[in-house]
Amino acid sequence: MTGIGSKRCYYLDLAKVLGALMVIFAHLYSIDSPVRLYTHGYLMPLFFLVSGIFHRYTGKIDWGRYARTILWPILIFIFLSILTNILFFGAHLGDQLRFYSVDIAKGKINMIIWFLFALFWCKAYMDFFCRFRHKIIPIFIWGCVLFIPVYFFGKKIPFGISQGMMGFPFYALGFLGKDFFLKRRESFKWLAPFALCLVSTVLITKYLQGRASMLGVRFGDLGGHLFGDAFQGLPAVCRGIIKLLNF
């Protein structure tokens, strides 16, 4: 870690393990369950935040390493999934190939490893912005030019690019703030503010009836909650401002 000793941060390992277990636990409930509502509001942001903390910039966009560590596992998973569906569920090879190719090409990626596509692009984005001396400026420009249109219009870019754009703000926060996070790894004074922040987030999310979804490229439904069906009748500028407040 930059500026940090070699001491291993076991609490980050624990966070990754607990996060994985929470994902499994949340998927035991229906998509409209309050359990899914609360857990999905912070689980994937936590994943990208921690991933950003561990990001290493090598002076270039390391396409080869990212392909080897992320894209190859994706291809292996798809191969095993197709093989399983054919052998045990009677699926046809042509249908399976069309399903995965069309799904990925349209940016839908409705599979359990969608976050790996997003992680691939987050790493590439971060390497690109590391070339700039003042990283926060190009990241802000990136958000205005790319993230906001994708979020506002709900358009999905092929190959998981849009999902990567949704996760990148948290990934960048982890990378740019790694010294801040890791230097305070043994300071218990941060426990109370963290717990307060988490509880506040849950309560606000419950009140707003938000639906945080990086896979679906959307955040919350503040307009529908406050105005009901009348929300669609508001001026476009007002709808845009309220929708932006969801994020």
Q: Express each pLDDT in 69-96 by its tens digit.
A: 999 998 898 899 889 999 998 889 888 8
Residue 166 within any structural domain of the chain: yes
Q: Whole-prediction pTM value?
A: 0.77
pLDDT digits (tens, 9 = 90+) for 34-46: 777 677 767 888 8
Of 27, 70, 73, 17, the closest CA to residue 47 belongs to 17
Residue 4 within any structural domain of the chain: no
Residue 23 within any structural domain of the chain: yes
**Using an 8 Å Cβ cutoff, are 223 and 243 in contact?**
yes
Residue 209 within any structural domain of the chain: yes
For position 198, what pLDDT does the model report?
72
Residue 153 within any structural domain of the chain: yes
Residue 2 within any structural domain of the chain: no
pLDDT for residue 2 is more than 60: no
For position 55, what pLDDT does the model report?
92
The rounded distance, in Å, linking the Cα atoms of 115 and 177 is 22
Domains in the chain, number = 1
The rounded distance, in Å, linking the Cα atoms of 236 and 74 is 40
**Using an 8 Å Cβ cutoff, are 49 and 171 in contact?**
yes
Strands (E), the chain: 212-213, 218-219
Helix (H), strand (E) at residue 120? helix 114-129
Residue 3 within any structural domain of the chain: no
Size of the chain, expressed as the number of residues it contains? 247
Most confident of the following: 21-25, 139-143, 155-159, 218-222 = 21-25
Query: Where in the sequence is the domain holding 146, given as residue range(s)?
Result: 10-246
106 compared with 224, residue with greater pLDDT: 224
- What region does 59 belong to: left with phi over 0, alpha with psi -120 to 50, or beta? left
Residue 1 within any structural domain of the chain: no
Contacts for 205 with CB less than 8 Å, ≥ 6 apart: 37, 38, 41, 212, 220
Helix (H), strand (E) at residue 161? helix 161-176
- Which pLDDT band, with edges at 50, 70 and 90, does 241 fall under? confident
211-215 CB contacts, 8 Å cutoff, 24+ apart: 211/37, 211/40, 212/40, 212/41, 212/44, 212/45, 213/40, 214/44, 214/115, 214/118, 214/163, 214/166, 214/167, 215/109, 215/110, 215/114, 215/115, 215/163
